[in-house]
Structure 1
Amino acid sequence: MVPSTEELLEIARTYWPSEEDPNQEPSPEAHLLHALWQPKLADPGPWDILIDQLEQAFPQDSIGDITTSRDASFWCAIYPRRTPERAGLHWVYVGCASIIAPVYTVYRVLFEYGERRMFRQLDLEPPAVEPAVTLARLMESTMGLSLLPPDIANHPVPVFVGWKSPPKTTLFHALFTSEPDNLP
């Protein structure tokens, strides 16, 4: 079950600062998020199982665990297999499992593949196509998370997350990432 918007706002305020620090020192909230990451990164668990399941479900694609502790979520991506004959536009599907709330999201990023990869489009609505459908199903069954509805994900939150600042910061940024299109 998805927590209420009010509960999610309170969670965001716990792990992200409401004021910008001119000295750019880590905030007390940043220390709390860092402390939360330590046991999650050290102990293999449902996330590792999910990555294995995705590799089995999509053997023709590349599965990447792209998690970084600067965000508030585990990240994975399903990349199309790259070959010279597969140049052109391709969607990369991304799944994020929040570590601060029992929610996940699935979205996609359109890249143009050629000599180098170029960003073209970001689609934050969970698409009802494969592999997004299977990714969502596995995130729910393996991790016990609920999909964060787009209307709640887009709710503004008065905190600073990465380079996002109020009034542009949303619950999506606070619970998952402030740079959804910045994929390795």
Structure 2
Amino acid sequence: MTPSAEELLAIARLYWGSDLAYVFRQEPSPEDLRYQALWEEKDVERPRWGAFVKTLRAAIPDCDAWDYAPGLANPSFCVLVYPHQEQHMMRPRITWTVAGYLSILAPLYTVHCVRRVFLGKHLMESKVFLGPVPLELQGIADTVARHIEAEFGATALPLEVAQTPVPLYVNFMKPPETTLFHALFTSEPGNIL
């Protein structure tokens, strides 16, 4: 059962501040200390996550799947899945990435897509699709979701709950733009490799 937005906000408040009181201080905030301690606790699961990514690679052989865990930057483990694409000489070149996040704050996950447009090696545009997943990527996204559910027992966070605004500062996100999605998964869903 998915926790309510109010329950998830109460959890997020433990790890993210509601003001900027500690921004210019040398010492970490109480939320920072709890967040760092939680990551130290959850970091022991990194080998299990790595094994999960390998299993996922085997389940979707037409894609490359990679572990994406930028340390304390995100409150989640993440897998990035890159569908194999034919190399055309057309300009501009469009690439897709399917991202699966498993929150460390609650037993929840999300899967979203990022479309990037390149002209040569220059990124011209990046767009995040939190939902619905584009039809051509639905099978990949479903496979990622099924595997996260089976391996970790997590529940998908519904988009309408994920988009609930929260009065918290999450990395570079600040109210009123901050949502539960940012607090539980990543403050920069489009900032992937």
The 5 A counterparts of 1:1-184 are 1-20=1-20, 21-23=22-24, 25=26, 26-44=28-46, 46-68=48-70, 69-81=72-84, 84-85=87-88, 88-113=93-118, 115-116=120-121, 118=123, 119-127=125-133, 129-184=138-193
Identity %, equivalent residues:
38
CA deviations 1:66-86 (Å, max 9, x no partner) are: 112221111111013467448
> Residues 60 and 27 from structure 1, CA distance in 2 versus in 1: closer, same or farther, beyond 3 angstroms?
same
> Residues 84 and 72 from structure 1, CA distance in 2 versus in 1: closer, same or farther, beyond 3 angstroms?
same
Deviation at 1:144, TM superposition (A): 0.5
**CA RMSD for the aligned pairs?**
2.0
Q: How many residues matched?
A: 184
Query: Structure 2, unaligned stretches of length 5 or more?
Result: none
C-alpha distance in structure 2 between counterparts of 1:116 and 1:24, whole Å: 40
C-alpha distance in structure 2 between counterparts of 1:77 and 1:56, whole Å: 14
Query: Structure 1, unaligned stretches of length 5 or more?
Result: none
TM-score normalised to structure 1 length: 0.90
Deviation at 1:167, TM superposition (A): 1.1
C-alpha distance in structure 2 between counterparts of 1:86 and 1:64, whole Å: 26
TM-score normalised to structure 2 length: 0.86
